[in-house]
Amino acid sequence: MNQLNRSFLFARRLRRKRYAQTLTQVMLTCLLTLGGIFHAQAQEPEDVVTVSTALVQLNVGVVDARGQAIRSLSRNDFTVYEDGVKQPILNFEPTEAPFSLVLLLDMSGSTVNFRPQLKQAVGRFLDALSPADRVAVIQFNKKVKTLSGFTDNMAKTAYAISIAEGAGETYFYDALRYALKELEQEGKRRKAIVVLTDGLDTGMSNADRASASKAETGAAAVASIDPKASSELNQVLATADKHGVTIYPLALPSGDPKKIALPTPIQTAIYAAARTRLQSLADRTGGRLNEIQRLDQMARLYAEVAADLRSLYSVAYRGAPGRDGKWREIRIEVTQPELIARTRPGYFAR
């Protein structure tokens, strides 16, 4: 019996020794393998260089010599140039492709007297959209508020328009930044902002008033303000460039510098600067400034904006590498020379 126990103990010790040797070999193999991986990872950044370039997205309108929209073109009908260099078109969408739209409504004190006309006009705009378009309704005065998120349920959108209300100051550029941020969530869909406002942003007007405070004439006051130097304006334009957002301002007559009853030099300058910035928003993003001369024109102009959106093609190409802050000029041509293509003129590479 003792001999049997000794044999059993010897066999067990032998198995333990062999197990320990095997475990040691496995651990050494793992360490060597991991060491090779870490070494390769440490070396990789020295051997790999990545270059990131932005996709430039354009909404393009095409008309004939009579100004009639042309909606039947294809990808091969377009040629895009950046700084004079032809660019391959990476993505193309026809005029039927749906949009994600923000309806931005000025609910400051300057619009209180014609809210019924405003809401009726926006309702007509909804009737002219495609069933696949997604619309969000955002109102602004001193605060910015979403009344309805993006949806293709136009009954829900119409209700959101009907409950828009407010008064007080106008923080227009805060509202634009907010709308652009909301549009970022809409992915690769085509994007636009349609905004009804007089353009008289409270913060900017205060800054413009300080700039023109020493002017004695209207001309001198206007010359003392550089509307396009505004950091708020340029921030909005840069974000719109980045995401390919087209902006359509509908300018209310209450902000028209030519309609001021008893203008002072400073007031003339403030109104002129605000209207120039609205024009810049449209020009730089490929939209169009619609000036409302009479309130009964509002519904027709909203309908024209809807028709314009329905005639836009979307074209995308890869921008030149580098973010040097310089202006990159964009030119787009169509194969038929009698047709005229309209899009944004370029962007700053930031």
> What is the C-alpha separation between 272 and 213, in angstroms, rounded?
15
* Residue type, position 136, single letter: A
Per-residue pLDDT at 53: 56
Per-residue pLDDT at 295: 84
Q: What average pLDDT does the segment 71-83 reach?
A: 97
> What are 243-264's pLDDT values in tens digits?
999 999 999 988 999 888 888 9
> What are 208-227's pLDDT values in tens digits?
999 999 888 888 999 999 99
CA distances from 79 to 86, 310, 315 (A): 7, 21, 10
> What are 289-317's pLDDT values in tens digits?
999 988 888 989 999 999 999 999 999 99
Q: Where are the domains of the chain?
A: 1-50, 55-92+313-348, 98-248+256-288
pLDDT(52) > 60: no
> What are 264-295's pLDDT values in tens digits?
999 999 999 999 999 999 999 999 999 998 88
7-11, 106-110, 138-142: least confident range: 7-11
Look at 45 and 115; give whichever has higher pLDDT: 115
> What is the C-alpha separation between 135 and 59, in angstroms, rounded?
18
pTM exceeds 0.75: yes
Burial class for 28, CB neighbours closer than 10 Å (0-12, 13-18, 19+): exposed
Per-residue pLDDT at 41: 39
Architecture of domain 98-248+256-288: 3-Layer(aba) Sandwich (3.40)
CA angle, 277 as apex, 69 and 257 as ends, to 5°?
A: 100
Going by C-alpha positions, the residue among 344, 232, 348 that lies closest to residue 285 is 344
Q: What average pLDDT does the segment 181-203 reach?
A: 95
> What is the C-alpha separation between 111 and 297, in angstroms, rounded?
15
Burial class for 109, CB neighbours closer than 10 Å (0-12, 13-18, 19+): middle
Per-residue pLDDT at 37: 36
